[in-house]
Amino acid sequence: MAYDFVLSTVLPASPQAVYDAWMSSEGHGEMTLTECTIDPRVGGEYEVGDGYITGRTTALEPGRRIVQTWRTSEFADTDADSEIEVLLEAVDGGTRLTLHHRHVPDGQTDYEHGGWQDNYFEPMRDYFTADV
């Protein structure tokens, strides 16, 4: 049975800067230190993490919200795509990024327990700190 979780972090950048980097092949790659290809429009497909993650963008609110289908090479063929919703809110010190990850396949708890922190939040913090 699939499950949902929510994680949050604060990044030292504006919501628009975080949004722009997330939706850019170059920016996303620099933030995550991986190869990325992103078509930055609703309906556009993406491949990030050196091909480990693939999906399609389903909703965008520039500087505020990104919704994408999300699937890794670890999903079984019978697993439906999961969904991520990235919410960006200006706070003292930068942007609060709140990640809602929905419909995660059973047994894939490593995304919640370290995966997002190790592969996204920490490298993103380093990326934006270097730009300050």
In this prediction, residue 131 carries a pLDDT of: 57
What is the C-alpha separation between 23 and 77, in angstroms, rounded?
27
Q: How many CB atoms lie within 10 A of CB 113?
A: 11
Mean pLDDT computed over 111-130? 90
Residues 6+ apart with CB under 8 A from 15: 63, 64, 88, 89, 90, 95
Domain count, the chain: 1
Query: pTM above the 0.85 mark?
Result: yes
Range(s) of the domain holding residue 49? 3-131
Q: Model confidence over 58-113: pLDDT tens digits? A: 999 999 999 999 999 999 999 999 999 999 999 999 999 999 999 999 888 778 78
- Residue 38 scores a pLDDT above 80: yes
- Count of helix runs (H) and strand runs (E) in the chain: 4, 7
**pLDDT band, very low/low/confident/very high, at 1 (cuts 50, 70, 90):** confident
Residues 6+ apart with CB under 8 A from 113: none
CATH of the domain at 89: 3.30.530.20
The chain-wide mean pLDDT, for the chain, equals 93
In this prediction, residue 112 carries a pLDDT of: 79
